[in-house]
């Protein structure tokens, strides 16, 4: 079925050019077509307002700059963010940790896998001294060969969900629950915690302001483009997943 935006049909040539940019998406065709629709809507609005750039991307950028008011974070807002997220501005923090990974693969029996992981955790809670042996026997991570040791782990070294859980542990020991990540189920033991140093606010104020401004900009852009989508005449496509694809 043809996709038509504001009475203009999107072409196969446009799709062929856009599709490779979304090869990693869950549904590349849907995502590419959504991007084309959004771009067409933005360019139509730019033309209506007589905004013309040297190319499409520059035209869209000029439109957003002119039409979208982005609030600038003040010093009080930046300081509040700093106080509420001090872990993000702490450097030199390290953990020495071990884990056992029960990997989720396409055809794995999730019920059986979770049962095995939970039974193993229960055993280790009763006798942590067998952790290395269990890791060598059961872990699907290469670290199993060395008893599950991950060595020293810094922030940014592991998956975000894994990092949040282990750095939230205030004392060494076994995490008393299974940790779920994109890779599977983990049993985690922290052996040593090396506290880092909190950077002073003045050293990170500029980066905080930049990050908050970027977040405000993205939110404002999304609201504006959703408004344009609501006004546009779109046929042949359900506009799903636009939040992550509003401006590329």
Report pLDDT digits (tens) over 26-51: 888 888 999 999 999 999 999 999 99
Instruction: Give me the pLDDT at residue 198, please.
Output: 94
Q: How many domains does the chain have?
A: 2
pLDDT value at 145 more than 60: yes
Residues 214 and 190 in one domain: no
Q: Could you tell me if residue 86 is inside a domain? A: no
> Is residue 154 domain-shared with residue 223, that is, in the same domain?
no
16, part of any domain: yes
Q: Are residues 109 and 190 in the same domain?
A: yes
Which residue among 195, 214, 234 closes a domain? Answer: 195
Residue 85's alpha-carbon distances to 80, 96, 99, 192, 200, in angstroms, are 9, 23, 27, 23, 13
Q: By mean pLDDT, which of 25-29, 90-94, 187-191, 242-246 is the weakest? A: 242-246
Residue 187 clears pLDDT 90, i.e. is over it: yes
79 within domain boundaries: no
**Is residue 247 over pLDDT 70?**
no
- Quick one: 223 and 185 in the same domain? no
Per-residue pLDDT band for 1 (boundaries 50, 70, 90) equals low
Buried b (16+ CB within 10 A) or exposed e, 200-226: eeeebeeebbeebeeebbeebbbebbe
- List residues bridging with 94 in a β-sheet: 154, 194
End-to-end Cα, the chain, rounded Å: 25
- Considering the chain, what percentage of its residues have pLDDT values greater than 70? 96
For residue 248, name the pLDDT band (cuts at 50, 70, 90): very low
* Domain range for 98: 93-195
Average pLDDT rounded to a whole number, residues 235-248 = 61
Q: Is residue 234 part of a domain?
A: yes
**Is the model's pLDDT at 67 over the cut of 70?**
yes
Residues 12 and 47 in one domain: yes
Question: Which pLDDT tens digit goes with each residue over 103-141?
Answer: 999 888 999 999 999 999 999 999 999 999 999 999 999
Mean pLDDT, to the nearest integer, of 82-86? 95
pLDDT at 128: 94
Q: Return the CATH number at 97.
A: 3.10.50.40
If pLDDT is split at 50, 70 and 90, which confidence band does 209 have? very high
Q: Assess if residue 85 is contained within a domain.
A: no
Q: What is the pLDDT of residues 71-83, one digit of tens each?
A: 899 999 999 999 9
Considering the domain boundaries, does residue 34 fall inside one? yes
Residue 109 sits in the same domain as residue 181: yes
State the pLDDT at residue 170.
85
Same domain, 181 and 211: no
Average pLDDT, the chain: 91
Stated as kind and residue range, the H or E segment containing 143 is none
In a domain, 191, yes or no: yes
Do 98 and 183 lie in a common domain? yes
Does the pLDDT of residue 241 top 70, yes or no? Answer: no
Evaluate whether residue 139 is within a structural domain.
yes
User: Beta strand 149-154 with 179-181: parallel, antiparallel or unpaired?
Assistant: unpaired
How sure is the predictor about 2, in pLDDT bands with cuts at 50, 70 and 90?
A: confident
| Average pLDDT of the segment spanning 79-94 | 92
Co-location of 230 and 168 in the same domain: no
- Averaged over 163-180, what is the pLDDT? 93
Strand-strand pairing, 94-103 and 173-174: unpaired
Same domain (yes/no): 180, 113 = yes
Residues 187 and 138 placed together within one structural domain of the fold:
yes
Same domain, 106 and 133: yes
- The position carrying tokens 């193993």 is 120
Among candidate residues 195, 212, 235, the one where a domain is terminated: 195
pTM for the full predicted model: 0.62
């Amino acid at each position: 079925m043809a996709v038509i935006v504001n009475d203009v049909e999107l072409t196969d040539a446009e799709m062929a050019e856009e599709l490779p940019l979304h090869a990693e998406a869950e549904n590349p065709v849907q995502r590419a077509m959504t991007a084309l629709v959004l771009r067409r809507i933005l360019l139509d609005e730019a033309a209506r307002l007589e905004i013309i750039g040297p190319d499409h991307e520059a035209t869209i950028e000029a439109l957003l700059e002119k039409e979208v008011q982005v609030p600038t974070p003040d010093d009080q807002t930046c300081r509040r963010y700093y106080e509420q997220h001090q872990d993000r501005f702490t450097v030199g923090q390290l953990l020495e940790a071990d884990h056992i990974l029960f990997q989720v693969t396409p055809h794995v029996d999730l019920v059986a896998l979770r049962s095995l992981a939970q039974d193993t955790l229960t055993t280790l809670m009763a006798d942590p001294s067998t952790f290395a042996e269990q890791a060598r026997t059961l872990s699907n991570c290469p670290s199993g060969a060395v008893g599950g040791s991950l060595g020293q782990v810094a922030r940014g070294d592991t998956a975000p969900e894994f990092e949040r859980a282990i750095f939230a542990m205030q004392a060494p020991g076994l995490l008393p629950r299974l940790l779920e990540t994109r890779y599977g189920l983990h049993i985690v033991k922290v052996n040593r915690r090396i506290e880092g140093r909190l950077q002073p606010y003045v050293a990170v104020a500029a980066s905080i302001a930049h990050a908050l401004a970027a977040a405000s900009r993205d939110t404002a852009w999304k609201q504006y483009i959703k408004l344009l989508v609501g006004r546009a005449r779109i046929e042949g496509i359900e506009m799903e997943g636009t939040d992550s694809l509003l401006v590329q």
